[in-house]
Chains A and B, each alone.
Chain A
Amino acid sequence: MIEARGLCKTFQDKKRGEVRAVDHVSFVCRSGQIYGLLGANGAGKTTTLRLLATILEPTDGTAVICGHDVVEEPGKVRSIVGFLSTATALYPRLTAQEMVEYFGRLNGLDNATIKKRVDDMFNRLDMNGFRDRRCDKLSTGMKQKTSIARTLVHDPPVMIFDEPTLGLDIMAARSIIAFIRECRDRGKTVIFSTHVMSEVEKLCDVIGIIQSGKLLAEGTLPELREKYSEHDLEEIFVKVVAPHYAQSEAV
């Protein structure tokens, strides 16, 4: 389970001064659920997910992941989280297998466990054809599979996906969507950020709409439809975000 408690993150910008990228964000994401964080570019999605993955440290507030505090036990949190985004690239001079093994070792797995898990994932994701090929020689789809295997090697109970389909072609994006669904079906806690409405409609059990670092609305899709008297998610999103979007643009 993920529980964000008043998460805040501010940055110092030379031109704009103090920028509040995440502003008292609180939500709960339960096991076997996909929580969709929906927001425009620069809304604070990536920063929120980086805070949960302990890549960044919150300025205020905290989050508890499977009982571990992101501020107090960042190393422990990272060992139970799988983090995947289009920004999480692969080491070009390692082979696909070496890449996955490296993250297995960093996650404290012993050699026998790593071998078993690598064989299992390479069979399941149909990666045996390129297991000894260097990552810089892989196609986009192969890289995606390797990234997935890298994320799953330690079988984390929590998965964090930051715009994982950004810039991918339809086939690669579909495989990622299928993978996220599979994670939920296996009982993992999944949080997922995007600005693609169709992905949210297809996948998410709970939706959080974020703008200017603030969580403006939250609920299941039927709950949001009822609350905002709109059927189309895009219309709901615009209704929620528009006043704040105009404000942030003015700033």
Chain B
Amino acid sequence: MSIRNIGIVYKKELTEALRDRRTLITTLVVPLLLFPLLSVGFGALVAAIIGKAQEEVPKIMIIGGEDSPSVVAGLKKLEKVNIVPLAPDWKDKIINKQVPVVIEIPTGFEKDLAAQKDVTVTIYDYSGDLKSEVARGKIEKFFDEYRDNVIKARLAAKNLPAALVKPFDVQQQNVAPPEKSGGALFFGGFIAYIVVFLCLNGGMHPASDLTAGEKERGTMETILSSPVSRAHLVLGKFLLVFTTALATAALSVISMAVSFAIANSFHAKPIQTGDSGMNFHIGFGAALSVFIMAVPLAVLFAAVLITIASFAKTNKEAQTYIMPLMFLVIIPAIAAMLPGVELTPKLALVPILNVSLLCKELVIGTYHWNYIAIIFSSTCAYAAVALFLAVKMFQRESVLFRS
């Protein structure tokens, strides 16, 4: 094994990669700019849209209510609600999103309430529309409070305590640390997905360029006529693909950590808070752990990518072969984000899914050392097999000179 020859090939491939616009875009631009913009920017955009919908004063129409002046007066007194006259085409106005909700107060509502009869108020809305749901929430809150007041008045009239209708409370108390609960679990899964996806993405173009691209440009025959052995040649190429895959994964973790830190510092209420009201952040220890787990994953991806791309005669053909691999990788990475999918001894042996699930735990600061050992060693084993296949593949004339 000549380390010198592998080093020469690697250095040359690195020089070419650093001059290749496509490699630079996938390795540097995508993780450093695109994904932070997409993830943090998208989160901020969603927060802004929800905030805007909550701040907006909805126009609300009332059907009936002429004989229930106190309810109508109460509705009119509501802050951030604008009661407008009823239009005959009120249904169309809801469908066309000109009016978010219309309230129907039945005839004799207050009189029937006083007589303790069953009465129903109907709220017409546009299900699934954010503005309509926000407006409906405000109206429901008003009627809940109105109902409570009616109950209190009825109880008071009969000298009964308020606890009669609510003998006990049920309270939920989260004991998990805020950084490990609520939205943090989703956040961990999301970071794992980004790392896995970008790790593969970072190696895709260099792998096809260094194998199929060489055949397409006619440089494969040039390099095969040199004294370097095919094993050294493929190992040099593999190292470059591994470098770009790992660099992309590492840069994605760093850029996400920095992006969330910056985003959190600008928001009084942290973005994507969910119910836990916590700041999302990736600590140095978590980032380092994710990076270490990404190493065997990058070896696996680089070797598999080289093996697949070696078959192709052109870059375009290589991309076609690699595309199904992308789905094979993305599906387990997405599965790891799903609530309830947790590490088990069996799942710890499933490639990609195991690293995704582990990264999800590592990001939130949970270290299951037994799983870490199983996943690291199993991924190393898969990576070694893939690398062996890549070397074997590169030594086959039928692959290198496929016509």
Interchain CB contact under 8 A, B224 and A55 = yes
Q: Does A242 contact B (CB under 8 A)?
A: no
User: Per a CB cutoff under 8 Å, which of B218, B227, B398 touches A108?
Assistant: B227
In the complex formed, the residue of A with least CB distance to B397 is A56
Q: Does B171 contact A (CB under 8 A)?
A: no
Q: Does B20 contact A (CB under 8 A)?
A: yes
Interchain CB contact under 8 A, A90 and B222 = yes
Q: Does A107 contact B (CB under 8 A)?
A: yes
Q: Report B1-39 CB contacts with A as 1/0, cut-off 8 Å.
A: 000010011001001100110000000000000000000
Interchain CB contact under 8 A, A55 and B221 = yes
Interchain CB contact under 8 A, B19 and A81 = no
A50, A75, A106, A134 interface centre (most CB from chain B within 10 Å):
A106
Residues in chain A near residue B228, CB distance under 8 A: 106
In the complex formed, the residue of B with least CB distance to A9 is B397
A12, A108, A134, A150 interface centre (most CB from chain B within 10 Å):
A108
Whole-angstrom distance between the Cβ of A107 and the nearest chain B Cβ? 6
CA distance A69 to B224 in the complex (A): 17
B15, B222, B224, B229 interface centre (most CB from chain A within 10 Å):
B222
User: Per a CB cutoff under 8 Å, which of B12, B218, B398 touches A88?
Assistant: B218
B20, B219, B224, B227 interface centre (most CB from chain A within 10 Å):
B227
Interchain CB contact under 8 A, B222 and A88 = yes
B8, B12, B218, B398 interface centre (most CB from chain A within 10 Å):
B12
Interchain CB contact under 8 A, B225 and A55 = yes
Residues in chain B near residue A102, CB distance under 8 A: 8, 12
Q: Could you say which of A91-99, A173-181, A183-191, A233-241 contacts chain B?
A: A91-99
User: Per a CB cutoff under 8 Å, which of B19, B218, B221, B227 touches A107?
Assistant: B227
CA distance A98 to B19 in the complex (A): 13
CA distance A117 to B12 in the complex (A): 19
Q: Does A53 contact B (CB under 8 A)?
A: yes
Q: A102-B8, A106-B5, A106-B8 are in contact. Are A93 and B20 (CB under 8 A)?
A: yes
Q: A93-B20, A94-B12, A108-B227 are in contact. Are A56 and B401 (CB under 8 A)?
A: yes
Interchain CB contact under 8 A, A89 and B225 = no
Q: A87-B221, A88-B221, A102-B8 are in contact. Are A94 and B16 (CB under 8 A)?
A: yes
Residues in chain B near residue A106, CB distance under 8 A: 5, 8-9, 226-228
Q: A56-B397, A102-B12, A106-B5 are in contact. Are A90 and B226 (CB under 8 A)?
A: no
CA distance A91 to B8 in the complex (A): 15
Chain A, range 99-124, C-beta contacts under 8 Å to B: 102-103, 105-108
Q: Which bracket fits the contact residues of A?
A: 20 to 34
Q: Does A192 contact B (CB under 8 A)?
A: no
Q: Report A1-21 CB contacts with B as 1/0, cut-off 8 Å.
A: 000000000001000000000
Whole-angstrom distance between the Cβ of B391 and the nearest chain A Cβ? 16
Chain B, range 344-392, C-beta contacts under 8 Å to A: none
Q: Report A54-92 CB contacts with B as 1/0, cut-off 8 Å.
A: 011100000000000000000110110101010111111
Residues in chain A near residue B12, CB distance under 8 A: 91, 94, 98, 102
CA distance A78 to B230 in the complex (A): 12
Residues in chain B near residue A12, CB distance under 8 A: 398
Q: A57-B397, A90-B219 are in contact. Are A81 and B225 (CB under 8 A)?
A: yes
In the complex formed, the residue of A with least CB distance to B209 is A93
Q: A56-B401, A106-B5 are in contact. Are A88 and B225 (CB under 8 A)?
A: yes
Residues in chain A near residue B269, CB distance under 8 A: none
A56, A83, A90, A103 interface centre (most CB from chain B within 10 Å):
A103
Residues in chain A near residue B76, CB distance under 8 A: none
Q: Does B217 contact A (CB under 8 A)?
A: yes
Whole-angstrom distance between the Cβ of B77 and the nearest chain A Cβ? 72
User: Per a CB cutoff under 8 Å, which of A57, A85, A108 touches B221?
Assistant: A85
In the complex formed, the residue of B with least CB distance to A53 is B225
Residues in chain A near residue B398, CB distance under 8 A: 12
CA distance A90 to B222 in the complex (A): 8
User: Per a CB cutoff under 8 Å, which of B8, B15, B227, B401 touches A79?
Assistant: B227
Q: A102-B8, A106-B5 are in contact. Are A91 and B226 (CB under 8 A)?
A: no
Residues in chain B near residue A90, CB distance under 8 A: 219, 222
Interchain CB contact under 8 A, B217 and A107 = no
Some 24 contacts from A to B, beta carbons below 8 A apart, are A12-B398, A53-B225, A55-B225, A56-B397, A57-B397, A75-B229, A78-B225, A78-B227, A83-B221, A85-B221, A87-B221, A88-B218, A88-B221, A88-B225, A89-B222, A90-B222, A91-B16, A93-B15, A93-B20, A94-B12, A98-B12, A105-B8, A134-B19, A150-B222
